[in-house]
A = this chain, B = another copy of it.
Amino acid sequence: MTRTTIKDVSDAAGVSIKTVSRVLNKEKYVSEDTRLRVEAAVARLNYHPSLAARTLAGRRSFQIGLIHDNPNPYYIYNMQAGVGARCREAGFRMIVQPCDINSPALIDDIGSLIDQAQLDGIILTPPVADAAPALEELERRRIPFVRVQPGTDLTATSSSFIDNVQAADDMTAHLIALGHRRIGLVMGHANYVASGQRLTGYRQALQRAGIGFDPALVQAGQFDLQSGSAAAEALLALERPPTAIFASSDEMAAGVLATAHRRGIAVPGQLSVAGFDDTDLAQVVWPPLTTIRQPIHALGYAAADLLLAFDERVERRRLDHELIVRASTAPPGGA
């Protein structure tokens, strides 16, 4: 019941331990012949190197961390899938760690994770991507990190993001083109910079169309169903209610639809509903809905891709490019 080690492989292949290590790490200067012999031995013995030993001896741990503070299962699931996919390709492991950006223990939590696991890099998703204490701690430790959908200091670090302003502008313009003049907006959680960006896009499109901005048409929300419902109640109770409501997430869009349903308002017909499709949720339940799709999986994959590029050039602290995954407007399904 003892473990298969690199020694077993080197014996089987008739070479030294170091040569096996060379093959494992794809180093240069290994003859084609010995490389094949080693690989054969590895496969025959079903050898898998100990990550603990590699980490202890080497400079890399082949592990990166994914830090989040997000209660949305769909978001987390897709983000993990995207980051995980890129990690698997590169032979890395992803360590997922939830956190609380408002906790004083935040930087301790992240720091001890890095220390204990000797992480090679970190991916921060919103709202952690804009948590100043966390960013400072990572800078101090000089550990490579990539932010997903950051709202501040966009050029300070590598990051992957979609253009929220443009996306919200597109959708608002779409609703205007359908003839709407009073368009309600349900904003996202205040912790997320995306919420403000979406408001900006909304206002931008209104202004371009010469439609005055009415603060009464903008309601606060927290990205979840309940706040979407509540916001719709408020909007529909206005003296001059909107003819269209644009929700900053699909969960809130579902909440808007539930409220409309409850009040006997026909959708579409009496009310148009649009939303950001963060989670594939609303679109499936309620076909008469127009959405802007946010490619979360792609955002995660791209973030991991940026991060793992550090591997090749350990000296560099930052990459000199950013990757932008653009939002795509879904084909207008309803109105």
The answer to whether A73 touches B84 (Cβ under 8 A) is: no
User: Which among B46, B117, B225, B286 is the interface contact of A51 at CB below 8 angstroms?
Assistant: B117
Interface string of A41-84 (1 = CB under 8 A from B): 00000101111110110000100000000000110111011001
Q: Is the interface of A mostly helix, strand, loop or mixed?
A: helix
Closest to A98 in B: B84
Q: Give min CB distance, A247 to chain B, whole Å.
A: 14
- Nearest chain B CB to A282 CB, angstrom units: 9
CB distance from A60 to the nearest CB of B (A): 11
9-residue interface stretch from A6-14, A108-116, A208-216, A302-310: A108-116
Q: Which residues of B contact A55 (CB under 8 A)?
A: 50, 52
Inside 8 A of A279's CB, which chain B residues have their CB?
73
Chain B: CB-nearest residue to A286: B258
Contact B93 A95 (CB under 8 A): yes
- Would you call B46 and A56 a contact (CB within 8 A)? no
Q: Is the CB of A96 within 8 A of B73?
A: no
Interface membership of A254, Cβ < 8 A: yes
- Report if A284 contacts B (CB, 8 A): yes
Report the interface size class on chain A: 35 or more
State whether B226 touches A116 (Cβ < 8 A): no
Q: CB of A21 within 8 A of chain B?
A: no
CA of A165 to CA of B46, assembled, Å: 42
Q: Which residues of B contact A261 (CB under 8 A)?
A: 261
> Is B84 touching A254 in the complex (CB atoms < 8 A)?
no
B96:A117 contact, CB within 8 angstroms:
no
A28 within 8 A of B: no
Task: Determine if A118 is an interface residue (Cβ-Cβ < 8 Å).
Answer: yes
A78 close to B84 (CB less than 8 A): no
Identify the closest chain B residue to A225 (Cβ).
B284
Q: Is A238 interfacial (CB-CB < 8 Å)?
A: no
Interface-central residue, A55, A255, A285, by most chain B CB under 10 Å: A285
Q: Specify the chain B residue showing the minimal Cβ separation from A1.
A: B142
Could you tell me the distance in whole angstroms from the C-beta of A242 to the nearest C-beta in chain B?
Answer: 21
Please report which residues of chain A, range 84-139, place their CB below 8 angstroms from some CB of chain B when the two chains form the complex: 84, 93-96, 98, 111-112, 115-118
Which residues of B sit under 8 angstroms from A254, Cβ to Cβ?
Answer: 285
Choose among B4, B48, B94, B116 the residue that contacts A50 (Cβ–Cβ < 8 A): B116
Residue of B nearest to A94 (CB): B96
Map CB proximity to B onto A129-173 as digits: 1 under 8 Å, 0 otherwise: 000000000000010000000000000000000000000000000
Given A48-B112, A50-B56, A52-B61, 19 other A-B residues pairs in contact with their CB atoms under 8 A = A46-B111, A48-B111, A48-B116, A49-B116, A50-B115, A50-B118, A51-B52, A51-B118, A52-B52, A52-B53, A53-B56, A73-B77, A73-B279, A77-B77, A84-B98, A93-B117, A226-B284, A258-B285, A258-B286
A-B contact pairs, 25 of them (CB 8 A): A1-B142, A3-B115, A48-B112, A48-B115, A48-B116, A50-B55, A50-B115, A50-B116, A51-B116, A51-B117, A52-B52, A52-B53, A56-B56, A73-B74, A73-B76, A81-B98, A84-B98, A93-B95, A93-B117, A94-B96, A96-B96, A225-B285, A254-B285, A255-B285, A258-B285
